[in-house]
Amino acid sequence: MTINFILNGEDVVVRTDAGVRLIHILRESFGLSGAKSGCLNGQCGACSIIFNGSVTPSCLIPAFRVRGSEIITIEGFSQTDEYNDILTGFKDVHLGNCGYCEAGKILCTETLLERFPNPTREEIIMSFAGVNCRCTNIDRLVEAVNHIIGIRQRRLYGRSA
Ligand code: FES
Ligand code: FES
């Protein structure tokens, strides 16, 4: 089947079988390797992408569901100021990072802060529910998100919240 969708802001077309997983389309047809192939059953978050505005495991999305969708991968998001805020925040708090689920953690942080610019601890915990990171724990992620909020406030308004 032929599938049209928007990938990192560009209209794209791919020919594939209906059941092929999106992660394999991204990696093999578009050379986008930021979404990692891990558990392939929706548990680890290593293959995360933003699918129609929500962080979603690309291993669970079959090709037929991709038609007409809007997808942002970590490669596309890395071109933004928001990405730099998050990466700087992760580095500043020395968040453990082997890279395996980095895309998931970064994209979860962004969609969280889009919805809740000043999230509660519970909202932060909920936002990372789909990422099973062995390199850090939820307390460190909460610390990182709160630090990133300050970085973003200073970039946008020249001050912290
Ligand atoms: S590879 Fe998709 S969630 Fe683990
Ligand atoms: S960054 Fe290492 S498992 Fe998440």
Domains and CATH numbers, the chain: 2-75 (3.10.20.30), 81-157 (1.10.150.120)
Tell me, what's the pLDDT at 42? 96
Pocket test for ligand 2, best of 43, 135, 137, 140 (most atoms within 8 A of CB): 135
pLDDT at 161: 54
List, for residues 33-58, the tens digit of each pLDDT value: 999 999 999 999 999 999 999 999 99
Task: Report pLDDT for 97.
Answer: 78
Average pLDDT, the chain: 95
Closest protein CA for atom 4 of ligand 2: 133
Write out residues in the chain with pLDDT < 70, as ranges: 159-161
Residue 11 φ then ψ, to 5°: -70, 130
pLDDT score at 96: 72
Looking at ligand 2, which residue's alpha carbon is closest to its atom 2?
A: 98
Ligand 2 centre from 131 Cα, in Å? 9
What's the CA-to-centroid distance between 43 and ligand 1, angstroms? 6
CB 17 within 8 A of CB 54: no
